[in-house]
Amino acid sequence: MKRMLAAFCLFVLAAGAVRAAAQVNPYKDGTPGVTGYRSEVLAEVMIQEDKFSLLAEATTAEKYNWRPAADVRSFAEVFLHVCAANYNLYKLVGTPPPAGFDVKGFEKSTTDKAKVIATLKDSFAHAKTAIKAMSDADLDKNLDWFGGKNTQRGILLFIVRHAAEHLGQSIAYARFVGVVPPWTEDMQKKQPEKKEPPAKDKQ
């Protein structure tokens, strides 16, 4: 009985932590230590982290292998593809990937729900550290980019846009398999119930 009670308490605490994450609002709470354009990018990254983490938690473990067609990414592969970008792309603005990271085959490295969620959180921590470590003075520095040129400012925009594309993909996957995004569910709970208008008396 004590074990069951302890397990229940842990579940309640974990659930509360997940719901608390849904309240991330860098537009209101700010991005301490970062200002200007980097603050704006960091705000978007924080919100993406929040939504990816919540969606990954809400998706059941058996759905991590689900894919809408044979030649597209599964749930797990989409999540890990975003992680790989978080680890790999910020090297372009000065922060190298973690030691031992190999982008090749990374998105197929696991389908274990707990590992995927942990990797999501770690990769977004890496992204936030990279943004904070940048210099504002380097934002307009030019780099070679797909046969042309781009600035570090533009590369940050690309990274955020890339993650946003795959967040939309993940939301579509979730809807298809019957998972309501947790932030949508929270908003629906806050909306007042619609009351039917009283029937008019027949004359």
**Is there a domain that residue 202 lies in?**
no
- How many structural domains does the chain have? 1
* pLDDT of the residue at 6: 43
Given a cut of 70, the residues of the chain with pLDDT beneath it are 1-22, 193-203
Residue 160: give its domain's CATH number. 1.20.120.450
For the question of whether the overall pTM of this predicted structure is more than 0.85, the answer is no
Q: Which two tokens stand for residue 153?
A: 């400012």
- Classify residue 150: in a domain, yes or no: yes
Question: Strand, coil or helix: what is 40?
Answer: helix
- Structural domain including 170 reads 16-181
* Residue 106 backbone dihedrals phi, psi, to 5 degrees: -60, -40
pLDDT, residue 95, reads: 97
Residues 6+ positions from 48 with CB-CB distance below 8 Å = 124, 160, 163, 164, 167
CB 33 within 8 A of CB 62: no
